[in-house]
A and B are shown apart, each in its own frame.
Chain A
Amino acid sequence: MYQPPSLLEKWSQENNELVNKCKQQEAGGGAVSQDHRQSSLRWCSSEFHKLLRKIQGIPPHVDHSQLELAVVYNTCVCFTAQSQFSEAELLLKEATERVLQVTGNNADTSDPLVLWRAGLKSAGNTALHPHVLYLLCLQWALWLAKCQLENIGELQEQMSSLCEIVCDGVGDGSPSEAKGRLSKSPLLVMEPKRLTELLQICTSIAQGAEKLNEGRSSEALSDLQAASALPATRALVAYTHLLSGSCLAHMNRPQMALQCYKKALETDSRCVCALYRSMLIYRQLGNTQAEIQALRLLHSTLMLPPATEPVLGGIQPLSPSLLLSSQSLSRLLSVPSALSVLYSLALKCVLSGRVTEGVEHYLDLLAALHSEDQHAVDAEVSVLPRMPELYLEAGTALLFTRRPADCMAFCNEVISTTLELVPEKVVLEEPEEGIGGDARGLSVEGEDKVAMLLWAAAAYLVQGHCHAHLKDWKQAVTHYTRCINLLVKVHLKNRDFQPQIPAADVNVKHGKDLCTLQRMKGLSLAWRGISFTQMDQLREALRDLQLSLQAFPDYTGAGLWCGEVLWRLGRKHEAAACWEKTWSLTTQTSVERYLILW
């Protein structure tokens, strides 16, 4: 087949112009928007593809192959950058087949691995070899992006030799010769050396995450530590440290893990995940102060405006995020939203006795929730408690800081919202397995009536506490009575169901509801009893306190007060027995969050 000599030059000129245009757009890409980048990328890939089709319109030929492979490389880079993996893969396959044709071998397999091996072998030591290697780089990138790590493992030796060759800068032959050839060879959109470096570290990270996921922590650790020495951007190096930390945490070496997280943060200050992971370790270690500190830092980092990616020698068309899309990795890198971090912070502060600080955080959280800037955009299921519970927790915290008026306002809010919806009668059925599931998934209309009732009752209970705090015993009795009246609307369906408090770890919804119900009954009755005691209505007080002990025998306060009332009534033996019994109880059980505070 005869071809005019100018065609090859024309094509290679066209290729070089396109590459230059691409690079220009990327160089100026810092300022322009993501949209613009996308569209220019789309344009480039279609142009490259057009050129490629022109070149592939004629049968493969040795003279053209070098140019053709370069254009295939450029086209595939553009396709991959747009996540059009299947198109890119098809191009690579065709290119390999054509290489085989040129070198006189025929490909009768569709298995990519076999095809690649054959392609590399046939191209070996010819001028085409470096170009075939570049394409293998891209195939590598595709496998990585599609999380097909096993394929990469299969071609491990080829890959490592590839790294050596590509990173040395030249292929085979003497340097001067190579240089002469390189100057003539067509331009490439992305330097293969840089691509290889990127691929090496990304592969290490992805493989590390995979191994960590499979529980092979120590194996992953050595790989990751080796990878941390590879040349790469700060963010990627930080990832290797982060994953090493996770491996260590998995191997029960929290202090070393903390060191790794610290290194990750030092490498890349925006590595929030490291902060989050450290916080989890502090929590695990029971170091509350450090945990609060980490939470605070995490929150303020998350509140920062989203980072603009630092430009390191121009934006590359292939970004690391494209190559690091495996699920196990994203699970490792996920960080809760700013709001839930704030919530954890507030709760932790209150529980660890830094109530004033906690109240501030609670108020910040509620303000954030009410602000116009807050929008329902968190795709992940929020770990925040439901709104009324948040109100009640905040209210209780306020009461702790001796702001009963504010607390009452919060409770009023909850009561006014929920009370209208509380039914006359609620039937609480025997706990059933399988009902569990996300409460937010329930239809709104059938929103859990029990929850509504418990919220209203709890709000009354806290209001009662407010009045008790103000020593307004009469009002307190009124509110405790309202609470009790609400609580008795709940009917247990199963008669022989033991009204015994289940173990604290029962997470079945209704079991939890039942537990809360009993506990609240006990508390409200006990506190009405206490209020009656303060008002010297000892008979009523005794009745309530005894009922309270029936409902919730673990509450030591009721036992103590019961003894007190009995003593005052002159029933000293009974009082003594009561006290004795109360002291013998081991008291520490975990209680619902907003009730443990009392």
Chain B
Amino acid sequence: MEGRCAVETWAQFGFSGGSYKVKILCGFGTDVLICTGTEEIYVFSKRERKITTVLLLPAAVNDLVGNQDKQLIYVACRSGVYRVNLQFLLHRDQSSQADASSSPAELKISQECLVVGADEVSSLLLVGSVLLTLCQRDASWLLTLYKTPKQTASTSHKEFGSFNLPVVSAVDCGAAESNRGPRKGSVLICIHSGDVEASSPSNASAESTVAQDHFHLEPLLFKLLFGVEAALAKSPVILCGLPDGRLCFLPLRLPGSCLRVLHSLEQPVCFVGASVVTETGHAQCLVAAGEQGRVALIKTDKAGPEGGSAVAAFTEGCVPGPVWCGCMDKSCFYYSTGADLLRLDLLEGSFARESKERGEETSGMTAAALQSPSSLNVCRVIALAEPACSTAGDVQLLGVSARGQLQRICLPAGRVDEGSSKLPSTQVSRSVRDLLSAIGDVCERASVLKTVIKSKNQFLRLLNHAVSVSFLLMADTTTDLPIKEKPIRCHFETSWSRLLQKDSLSLVCFLHNSSPFVLERGWMLSITVSPLSYSSSPAGESSSTNFSFPFHDLRPGQTFEASLPIAAAGDASFPMTVSCSLIFSLSSLLGEEEVAASFAGLQSSCISLPLSTLTVDWLHALQLNSPTATHKMATVQPSSAAADSIQTFLSSRQLRCSGRTNRGGESAAKPEPEKYSASVWVSSEIVRDTLKPKKSSNLDAKESIRDPEDLCLSLLERLLSEDTEGVKMGCQGDKIALSTSVAHARGPNGAAMKLSVKEINVGEEESTDKEATIEVQIESSSLAAVCGLHHAVLRRIQTLLQSATEKAASTKNVQILGLRRALQRAEIQQSQISGAFGEVVSTVQRDRLLLSVYQELRRNPLLIV
């Protein structure tokens, strides 16, 4: 039966982490310094049993070393290495603390304390007057040596050497492991040869720097590992453990030496130390522990192979659990897996070895000792330091728990005999209490793990959905299904609405989910609206607008509806392109705070799946005035109508005025602002053919299509309300039954316009075969409106004809070609107009340009036969 550990919580500090490198630095009298990977360093006074001071560094702290002699600490931050004179600070602190003794004083470390300007230093070490920094630069590890000044007042730290070691590709370890475990850091320690103390002339200074990262190794082992020359030169050896598992060494004072690899653990090194200390104070065993529990013991094997001399024996083994942190005392290696604190008795192994015959059994025995560390039943320890052995044989450790508590852990005497069965009742009750608290801890940890697993499952499910949906949509694009049959499709409707006496056009998007998947958290509908012609924006910046709508569980069969304002009356440039896509973003899946904490770069990463791209043209944006409605509107909403007419009047005036002033007398001869008009002529045969399939669904309408008047009407109806490419003009109040083949409307820029369809005969004068033709005429006083509408009408007729050609084959090809040409021309003209308005040119030029466009439009009556 093992004795139980007593855990005494000394202090609690605000600290939420668990993913940072926590370090405890002891040896400053009664002060203990704790850095937790944040910007803060806590100074805990053992005498007062509380945190006396908090040092605030400018950036997150990576490592911390101290010079007890001079009461200096060096702190490696993200931004550089800072030097803090602790004594000075604490003295100042004590004087100021006399009045406010309850709360710890907060001391800001200013930029003045910066001594080395290298960023991202991962480890520090102080050897005598030399400060060593280890950091990763591009493709190599860089160990840099700085000379610390003799006077503490001076801040100059001269770099006088650096050593390179190329980075090898990192050891493949579970991503989840590295994410949750302690942050990958490096370890830097200093090994002195055992007999340095005896012969070193500067004994005092060497003694003072000996701290938790300095070890004295038995001379023989030292020579075996680092060479005779290092021993003869009395050089300390720097040992560094890297995240790629390598253990490298550098004899500090040997001329011409370089960083060499001693061993590789093949997993991130998280602890290096020396133990099994003899009476002379020399450690006999070098221990290196990897993050995933691989431990290497390096000892002297007095009887090497083939009866030769002594060799260094490397024993590798695996101890259970991830190693979060570790510390050593004279004979044991203590480490924490997060779930438990374990003790590895290194002395036991060596004893066992000595008692046995030498040979293969020795390594077996040591490995066996590695297999069975004894559990101390203390969980959630993430940093350990300062093992101290009391006279009674108890070992005391200082630890920091994952919950941010500084704990004093008292371990029972090393090898307790079985005599502890008869415990006094007080001790029994204490141990029961300990057990209960341990159970509580374990329980808490278990529940945390459960929630983690649950959320991971959830993530996986969502990701699976995302991938399935992606494949579904990708299959769509390859097979090219018609829009109606796509599993996830969207269509649009335009509608005018009136808000605060201002007309605005809004586009309603319907997304129908007929796929078997639920679109849930993480999915978004993104709609980009951008003008078709870009020349209108003068500065060249694209004037597209982006809308995105997150989904909340859009189940199969459901339809999602989103309405987006695309233009207020008068300030839109039509036609515009609307492209919509589904976006799946990882960041919203993971949850904001986790993303912010761990992956700063992930925020923008998402999967975007395009759904469809369509065009909203002038016909979609028309505001139709029904013959009755015009009148009604005039009475009911006089103000807006009046405003409109005033607007029209003003703009026409303005145009005239400017024209007059610029062109002088010439323009006076010009007629009043005329109505611009454009027309499209289509063979009525084609129209009849194409409109037929739609009408034929109505049983009795077959005959009425013969009537030319009816044909015109249905064409107009088709033009105004037809669902092209998934965009439909919304119903304008009550559905207007078009009584005549003339429609009055207002365009999105507010211009009144007339759209009339009538049948005429054109073929008469030019050719003998008479062709019944339907003319679609557009009239408006606004040139832009005419052009825009003309373009829209041509597009519609083109789609009509395309559906017709499927049946009526080759004869119509020529006509379509003509139509296309006309369409192109109209597009050019519109861009010219926009260009004319957009560019900063003189009004004279603008007028001339507009006139030429207009004339061209008139010159080319679009005849489609």
Contacts and interface: CB of A to CB of B under 8 A. Distances in A.
A420 B229 contact: no
B229 A423 contact: no
B202 interface: yes
Contact of A423 (B227, B231, B308): B308
A444 B225 contact: yes
B145 A421 contact: no
Given A369-B253, A421-B228, A440-B256, A377 B309 contact: no
Nearest to B195: A416
Contacts of B253: 369-370, 372, 374-376
Nearest first, the 7 closest Cβ-Cβ pairs linking A and B are: A377-B161, A382-B256, A423-B308, A387-B229, A387-B232, A376-B257, A423-B309
Contacts of A384: 255-256
Interface string A382-425: 10101110010000000000000000000001100110111111
Interface in B720-776: none
A482 to B, nearest CB: 16
A422 B160 contact: no
A391 B258 CA distance: 22
B211 interface: no
B310 interface: yes
B182 interface: no
B232 A388 contact: yes
A377 B309 CA distance: 33
Interface string A343-378: 000000000000000000000000001101011111
B160 A377 contact: yes
A418 B230 CA distance: 12
Contacts of A391: 232
Interface in B212-267: 220, 223-229, 231-235, 250-258, 260
Contacts of B254: 376, 387
A374 B228 contact: no
A378 B309 CA distance: 33
A381 interface: yes
A372 B129 contact: yes
A154 interface: no
B307 interface: yes
B310 A414 contact: no
Interface in A419-435: 420-425
A425 to B, nearest CB: 7
A387 B233 contact: yes
A370 B145 CA distance: 18
Interface residues of A, number: 37
B227 A376 contact: no
Given A35-B117, A377-B145, A447 B228 contact: yes
A425 B308 contact: yes
Contacts of B304: 423
Contacts of B308: 423-425
Given A413-B232, A445-B225, 12 more contacts: A369-B233, A369-B253, A370-B233, A376-B161, A391-B232, A414-B232, A417-B232, A423-B304, A423-B308, A424-B307, A425-B308, A445-B224
Interface string A166-188: 00000000000000000000000
A542 interface: no
B309 A420 contact: yes
Contacts of A378: 255-256
A446 to B, nearest CB: 10
Contacts of A339: 255
Interface of B: 117, 128-130, 145, 160-161, 163, 201-202, 205, 220, 223-229, 231-235, 250-258, 260, 304, 306-312
A376 B228 contact: no
A360 B312 CA distance: 38
Which of B201, B231, B232 is packed against the most chain A CB atoms within 10 Å?
B232
A449 B163 CA distance: 28
A440 B257 CA distance: 8
A384 B223 CA distance: 20
A425 B311 CA distance: 14
A294 to B, nearest CB: 22
A111 interface: no
B128 A372 contact: yes
A380 to B, nearest CB: 7
A377 to B, nearest CB: 3
Which of A370, A374, A382, A414 is packed against the most chain B CB atoms within 10 Å?
A370
13 contacts: A369-B233, A370-B233, A372-B128, A374-B253, A376-B163, A378-B255, A382-B256, A386-B229, A423-B304, A423-B309, A440-B256, A444-B227, A444-B260
Contacts of B201: 370
A214 B737 CA distance: 99
Contacts of A445: 224-225, 311-312
Contacts of B252: 375-376
Given A421-B228, A444-B227, A447-B227, A376 B311 contact: no
Nearest to B129: A372
Contacts of A99: none
A424 to B, nearest CB: 5
Contact of A422 (B225, B258, B309): B309
B130 A375 contact: yes
A455 B231 CA distance: 14
Nearest to A377: B161
A452 interface: yes
Nearest to B303: A424
B7 to A, nearest CB: 42
Nearest to A33: B156
A35 B251 CA distance: 29
B117 A420 contact: no
B229 A424 contact: no
Nearest to A35: B117
A83 interface: no
A377 B132 CA distance: 13
A160 to B, nearest CB: 42
Nearest to A443: B260
A516 interface: no
Contacts of B128: 372
Which of A377, A424, A425, A440 is packed against the most chain B CB atoms within 10 Å?
A377
A452 B255 contact: no
Contacts of A225: none
A337 interface: yes
Contact of A369 (B202, B255, B258): B255
Contacts of B306: 425
A445 B247 CA distance: 14
A382 B253 CA distance: 13
Interface string A255-279: 0000000000000000000000000
Contacts of B256: 376, 378, 380-382, 384, 440
B222 to A, nearest CB: 10
Contacts of B233: 369-370, 387
A391 B233 CA distance: 10
Which of B233, B310, B312 is packed against the most chain A CB atoms within 10 Å?
B233
B115 to A, nearest CB: 13
B312 A418 contact: no
A91 to B, nearest CB: 25
Interface string A31-63: 000010000000000000000000000000000
Contacts of A369: 233, 253, 255
A93 to B, nearest CB: 28
Contacts of A377: 145, 160-161
Contacts of A387: 228-229, 232-233, 254
Contacts of A447: 227-228
A418 B228 contact: yes
A360 B46 CA distance: 53
A248 B310 CA distance: 56
Contacts of A449: 309
A590 B313 CA distance: 41
B200 to A, nearest CB: 9
A456 to B, nearest CB: 10
B33 to A, nearest CB: 26
Contact of A376 (B225, B251, B309): B251
